[in-house]
Amino acid sequence: MRCPACAHPEDKVLESRSARDGAAIRRRRVCLSCGTRYTTYEEILRDALMVTKRDGRIEEFSRRKLVDGIARACRKRPVTMEQIEALTDVIIERVEEQYERDVPSSAIGEMAMTVLQAFDEVAYVRFASVYRRFADVQQFLNEIASLGGQG
C-alpha cells in the first residue's frame, strides 16, 4: 500500500477490524517514511453489477451515486454520514441477493425507497419525488397521504 502523502511503499498496520457487517476489513495504517496515518478497506471483489437504466443504457453500478442520492434526500435531516453508508450497505446487500449481475435501475430505486421509508419518512418522500419524477404538488400530497394510512 502506498502512502497517500508521500507515496512510500512501506507502512505498518496499527489496527484491523471488521467493517460493513463483516463484508470488509478496516485497517488503520502509518507510513514508515513520513508518519502519515491513513485508513484502508479490504473487501472481496465481485463481478461488477451492471445497471440497466430507464432509457435502456447499461452502465456499471456506482455505490457513490447511490450514496449521493440518499444523502441528498437526507439533507438537513438528523442523519449522519455513517447512517447513510449503512443504509447504502443494506440496499446493496439486497440487490446482490436478488440479482447476479444485471439489475434494472428501477429495482435499486424501489429498494432504496423501502429502506428510506422505514428509516426517515421525509427523506423517503424527497427520494420518491425525484425517483418517481413528481410533476406537481398533488403527487407529493398523495404520497404523504399514503404514508399516513400505513401508520
Q: DSSP letters along 25-69, please? A: EEEEEEETTT--EEEEEEE---PPPEEE-TTS-EEE--HHHHHHH
| pLDDT for the residue numbered 142 | 81
Give yes or no for a contact between 63 and 70, defined as CB atoms under 8 angstroms apart.
no
Distance separating alpha carbons of residues 67 and 92, to the nearest angstrom: 11
Looking at residue 33, its amino acid is S
Looking at residue 59, its amino acid is E
Burial class (CB in 10 A: 0-12, 13-18, 19+), 99: middle
Residue-by-residue pLDDT tens, the chain, 151 positions: 899 999 999 999 999 999 877 878 999 999 999 999 999 989 877 678 999 998 999 999 999 999 999 999 999 999 999 999 999 999 998 998 899 889 999 999 999 999 999 999 999 888 988 877 777 778 778 888 887 766 4
Sign of the CA dihedral running 97, 93, 90, 53: negative
| pLDDT for the residue numbered 149 | 63
| pLDDT for the residue numbered 21 | 75
Distance separating alpha carbons of residues 111 and 129, to the nearest angstrom: 15
Give yes or no for a contact between 80 and 86, defined as CB atoms under 8 angstroms apart.
no
Looking at residue 21, its amino acid is D
Query: Which residue, chain included where needed, has cell 440496499?
Result: 91
| pLDDT for the residue numbered 131 | 79
| pLDDT for the residue numbered 150 | 60
